[in-house]
Copies of this chain bind each other. A is one copy, B any other.
Amino acid sequence: MSASAVPTVAGLGEVLQLFRGRPSLTRADVMHLTGLSRSTVNQRLDALLSAALVVPSGEGSPTGGRPASRFTFHHDRGVLLVADIGATGMRTALCDLRGTVLAERERAIDVAAGPDPVLTTADAMFGELLAGAGRGTAEVFGIGLDVPGPVDFDSGQVVSPPIMSGWDRYDIPGWFAGRYACPVLVDKDVNAMAFGEQRSVYPDVRQLLMIKAGTGIGAGMILGGEIYRGADGAAGDIGHIQVTVEDAGTEPVCRCGNTGCVEAYAGGWAMVRDLREAGKDVTTVDDAVALVRTGDLLAVRLARRAGRIIGHAVADSVSLINPRVVVIGGQLARIEEQLFAGIREMVYRRSLPLATRSLQIVATRLDNRSGLIGLALLLADGIFAPGRVEDLVARG
């Protein structure tokens, strides 16, 4: 069959993709995996070697004078800078091109102070991370940030964020444009977390629900193997699903202005409020988590109730999207014992048996790094996407 005007399947980007997913490959491996001829494989590999995106592999390299027979993705060719911006704190990391965290830093912030002070802090931390690793800004292949609010992913703009005053429609990539000559992506925190979990822990799972239980409550989703963002980037807003709690008395007012939201009972901020009203000496969500872990009876009771209420929203979500895995992350995931019993109780009580018989409900295994890792992997996928590798190679 003729193939005129038809793009080939295995261009430079597709060949690089083979290396990104494997420890090392020979020329014969590449021929076998792509169906390309020896001369075309040599041509592709020469281009990737000259751009140093692929390098001879240490293992399998002969000790004599013959050229190395195995090649590997040069994950140290450049670095990625990522920032996971929360309501009250920011974590930043320097990652290699495989998404491995090389160094990280954490700092307290107030996201409601607005974009300029927060991004200035991020930029300062990025500078410290680069200096600490002895890398220059020219080596930065990409910058990724996540925020606790809805994002228009294509433009990188935060849109109508309930808790990020001053950020609406702010051009975050534009802020970095004069400082770094690399792509900048912005996503909602829960989307980055879901992607990090799925890609690094559950690569074979195509439907994953990620719950962030921290100051607020939110969800990110991998549906059909891809991040699902919804029509306006507003998908996953489970913190404001309305629940009714039998022993609650008056419904508490939520940060969104409504009453009876999941977050208004089970968010970290609501637990702090309830503990303070009862005279406990807590100020932050971390204080509340610590109090639960000491076994304080009221704190434990509130944690169990939070589990059942989050479980109510998780059960609704399981009924609607029928995921294979639900991953719980965020600060409250550290009170796993008290929280998970309540979540599981509600899911198994409320959802269709068909939807729960193969369902796993698990705590994150990435500690508090799922967002950082997700951002780095999302950046790498964009930078090394077929069609863009040609540009990287052309620039040298």
Residues of B within 8 A of A159 (CB): 354
In the complex, besides A3-B3, A231-B323, 4 extra interface pairs with C-beta distance below 8 angstroms are: A4-B35, A5-B34, A219-B320, A240-B319
A7 contacts the other chain (CB 8 A) = yes
Q: Which residue of B lies closest to A219 (CB)?
A: B320
Q: Quick one: which of B34, B320, B355 contacts A232, CB cutoff 8 A?
A: B355
**The residue from B1, B231, B321 contacting A206, defined by CB atoms under 8 A apart:** B231
A322 at the interface (CB under 8 A from B): yes
A337 to chain B, nearest CB (A): 25
Bound complex: CA A10 to CA B5 (Å)? 10
Query: Which of A66-74, A220-228, A296-304, A371-379 lies at the interface?
Result: A220-228
Give per-residue flags for A347-382: 1 if the beta carbon is below 8 A from chain B beta carbons, else 0: 001111111011100000000000000000000000
Residues on B with beta carbons closer than 8 Å to the beta carbon of A36:
2, 4-5
Distance between A202 CB and nearest chain B CB, rounded to angstroms = 12
Q: Which residues of the other chain, B, contact A351 by a CB distance below 8 angstroms? A: 237, 240
Q: Is A155 an interface residue (CB 8 A)?
A: no
* Any B CB within 8 A of the CB of A235: yes
Given known A231-B207, A352-B234, contact A1–B6 (CB-CB < 8 A): no
| Nearest CB on B from A56, distance (A) | 25
Q: How far is the CA of A245 from the CA of B118 in the complex (A)?
A: 44
Q: How many copies does the complex hold?
A: 2
Chain B residues near A238: list those with CB within 8 A.
319-320
Q: What DSSP secondary structure best describes chain A's contact surface?
A: loop
A137 within 8 Å of B by Cβ? no
A289 to chain B, nearest CB (A): 26
User: Chain B: which residue is nearest A149 at the CB level?
Assistant: B354
Which residue of B is nearest A31, CB measured?
A: B5
Give Cα distance in the complex from A40 to B234, angstroms. Answer: 46
List of B residues within 8 angstroms of A6 by Cβ: 3, 8-10, 35
The answer to whether B232 touches A322, judged by C-beta atoms less than 8 angstroms apart, is yes
Min CB gap A316→B, angstroms: 5
Contact B9 A352 (CB under 8 A): no
User: In the complex where A2-B37, A5-B36, A10-B6 touch, is A358 in contact with B231 (Cβ < 8 A)?
Assistant: yes
- Which residue on chain B has the smallest CB distance to residue A5? B35
A330 CB–B CB distance under 8 Å: no
Which residue on chain B has the smallest CB distance to residue A39? Answer: B2
Residues of B within 8 A of A321 (CB): 228, 230, 235, 320-321
A4, A236, A354: which has the most chain B beta carbons within 10 Å?
A354
> Quick one: which of B2, B224, B319 contacts A40, CB cutoff 8 A?
B2
Most buried by B among A150, A160, A352, A357: A352
Does residue A317 face the partner (Cβ distance < 8 Å to B)? Answer: yes
User: Would B352 and A162 count as touching, CB distance under 8 A?
Assistant: yes
A322 to B226, CA, bound (A): 16
Verify if A242 is at the interface (C-beta below 8 Å from B): yes
* Contacting residue for A317 out of B207, B320, B323, CB 8 A: B320
- The reply to whether A231 and B322 contact each other, CB–CB distance below 8 Å, is yes
With A319-B241, A323-B230 known as contacts, the answer to whether A354 contacts B3 (CB < 8 A) is: no
Q: Answer yes or no: A283 CB below 8 A from chain B CBs.
A: no
A238 to nearest B CB, angstroms? 6
Please indicate the chain B residues that have their CB under 8 angstroms from the CB of A91 in the complex: none
Whether the pair B316, A235 counts as a contact (CB closer than 8 A) is: no
Complex Cα distance, B150 from A355, in Å, reads 10
Do A240 and B5 touch across chains, with their CB atoms under 8 A apart?
Answer: no
Interface members, chain A 162-185 (any B CB < 8 Å): 162
A11 at the interface (CB under 8 A from B): yes
